[in-house]
Amino acid sequence: MHVLFVEPAFPRNQREFVRALASVGARVTGIGERPVEYLDGELKSWLYRYEQVPSVVHEQSLLDTVRRVQKREWVDRLEATIEAHIMPTARVREACGIPGTSVQTSYLCRDKPAMKQALRDAGVPTAMSDGVDNAEQVRAFIDKVGYPVIIKPRDAAGAAGTYRIDKADQIDDVVRESGIAQGISAAIEEFVEGHEGFYDTITLNGEVLYDFVTHYYPNVLEAMRTRWISPVFIATNRVDTSGYDEVKAMGRKVIESLEIGTSATHQEWFFGPKGLKFSEIGCRPPGVGAWDLYCAGNDFDIYRAWAAAIVHGRRTEHPNRRYAAGLINLRPERDGHITGYSGVDEMFARWKDWIIDSHFPAPGTPTQPVEAGYMANAYVRIRYPDYDDLREILQSVGRSVKVHAN
C-alpha cells in the first residue's frame, strides 16, 4: 500500500507514524514543509519518497502535490494526524478520490457549534452551544442558558483561546480579547460542572478496535490558568471495568453519528451533577504525548496498531492494561529563566523503577508561559500497576519537585 503522510518531521513525534507505517509494509511518501536535506537519516530510511510544499495547510499546494504523485503512481491513502492539517487534507482527499475521512466528518469534528448540534440531534448528551459573531449574540445566549459560559475559537484544540464568563461585567473584555469584536466568529457554550477526561480510540470502518480513558486533575481550563498547580493527566488501566461502560457507549455513538470510518479519535467529556456530557472530538490522535503513555501502560505499540488498521484493515496489537500511566507538568515559580531544581534526586531515588521518562530543561533556559501546556518547561511521566496509587505518586512529585526561575 502507498500512503501519503502529511508533515512527517514536525512536531517530532510525527516520525512515529511514519515509522509505524513503514514497519507494517507501507510505502510512505512524506509531504512536508522542510527541504529533504533537513530530514535525519533515520526518518529518511522510513520514507519511500518525499515531497516538499510551502505549507501543508495551503490546500492548493497540497492538492497540486498529491495530483503530481498520482500521475506518477497509485495512491491508496492520504493521512494526517495534526488538528490543523485535518480539514485541508480531507478536502484534497475528496478532490483526488482517495479513501478516508470525509470533508463533512472533518468539518463536524472541527467546528464546535456544528459538531454539538449534530450530536444533540443524534441524542448524545451535550452542553448547550452556539456560534457567536458579536456581543449581542453573546448576551442573548447567556440570557437563555445563564452563567457561567465558555467562549472559545470554533476550531481550537484543548483550552487554547478559551475564556470563561461568570458575570455581566466580563462580557465586553472577553468579546474584545477573544477577537469577536474584530469580526472573528467563536463558539459559546454552557459551562458544564464536573470532572474532565478523554476517551481515545482507533477505529476501523466505524468499529472501535482499541480504546483508552484518561483523567485530568484538575480540569484543563483551571490547569491552564493557574500557575501554582502542577497539572496531571492519567491513563487508567481500568478501562475494561463496568464503571467506564457509559463513557465507551457515548464515544461509540459519537463515532457512529459523525460517520468516522478508519481513524484515530480523541473525545473530551465531563461527568458531574448533570451526569455524563460530551465536550468535543478530534478526528486524530490526542496531543501532549498521550499515545506514548498508552504504549508504556500497555506494553504495546499504538502507532503500529494505527498503521496496521490503515494498511491491513485489522487488529494486530493487544494492549495488556498492565499499568496506569500519567504525566505531571512541573512549572517554574515565575517567568524568566530556569535557575535550577529541587527535589529531583529524591524523586528519582524513590520512583526510578516506575519513571517512563522526564524532561528538565537546563538552567538558563527561558521559561514558557503557563498556557503553553502540559509539556512546557519540566515534566515527568510515570507508570504504576494501581491507578489510585499512581495518582498519589504524581501528586507527591508535584509537591516535592520545584522548578526555580528568576
**DSSP letters for 381-400:** EEEES-HHHHHHHHHHHHHH
pLDDT of residue 157: 62
Q: What percent of the chain has pLDDT over 70?
A: 99
pLDDT of residue 127: 86
- Domains, the chain: 2-100 (3.40.50.20), 128-190 (3.30.1490.20), 195-405 (3.30.470.20)
**DSSP letters for 344-364:** HHHHHHHHTTTEEEEE-PPTT
pLDDT of residue 288: 92
- 95 class by beta-carbon count within 10 Å (0-12 exposed, 13-18 middle, 19+ buried): middle
DSSP classification of residue 130: E
What is the rounded average pLDDT of the residues 361-368? 97
Nearest Cα to Cα of residue 77 among 125, 38, 27, 132: 27
pLDDT tens digits, residue range 113-128? 899 999 999 999 998 8
| The three cell numbers locating residue 33 | 514543509
What is the rounded average pLDDT of the residues 281-292? 96
pLDDT of residue 15: 97
pLDDT at 158 over 80: no
What is the rounded average pLDDT of the residues 205-222? 96
Those residues with Cβ within 8 angstroms of residue 164's Cβ, 6 or more apart along the chain or in another chain: 148, 149, 150, 151, 191, 221
pLDDT at 187 over 60: yes
Cell 460530551 maps to which residue? 278
Handedness of CA 140, 170, 126, 279 (dihedral sign): positive
Q: What percent of the chain has pLDDT over 90?
A: 88
pLDDT at 152 over 70: yes
- 236 class by beta-carbon count within 10 Å (0-12 exposed, 13-18 middle, 19+ buried): buried
Q: φ, ψ for residue 223 (rounded to 5)?
A: -60, -35
pLDDT at 46 over 90: yes
CB 16, CB 305: distance < 8 Å: no
Q: Is 343 helix (H, G, I), strand (E, B) or coil?
A: coil
pLDDT of residue 159: 59
What is the rounded average pLDDT of the residues 56-71? 97
Query: Which residues sit opposite 31 in a β-bridge?
Result: 6, 51
Q: What's the pLDDT band for 154 if we cut at 50, 70, 90?
A: confident
Per the prediction, the chain carries an average pLDDT of 95
What is the rounded average pLDDT of the residues 46-66? 97
pLDDT of residue 153: 86
Those residues with Cβ within 8 angstroms of residue 389's Cβ, 6 or more apart along the chain or in another chain: none
Half-sphere exposure of 3 (CA within 13 A, CB side): 28
Residue 210 CA from chain centroid, whole number: 16
Q: What's the pLDDT band for 181 if we cut at 50, 70, 90?
A: confident
Element housing 50 (H / E)? strand 49-52
CA angle 35, 36, 37 (to 5 degrees): 90
Half-sphere exposure of 59 (CA within 13 A, CB side): 12
Nearest Cα to Cα of residue 10 among 69, 78, 81: 81
pLDDT of residue 150: 87
Which of the two residues, 357 and 193, has the higher pLDDT score? 357
pLDDT tens digits, residue range 307-317? 999 999 999 99
pLDDT at 287 over 90: yes
pLDDT tens digits, residue range 73-96? 999 999 999 999 999 999 999 999
Q: Rounded to an integer, what distance in angstroms lies between the CA atom of residue 168 and that of residue 84?
A: 33
Q: Rounded to an integer, what distance in angstroms lies between the CA atom of residue 53 and that of residue 35?
A: 9
Half-sphere exposure of 26 (CA within 13 A, CB side): 31
pLDDT at 156 over 80: no
pLDDT at 33 over 70: yes
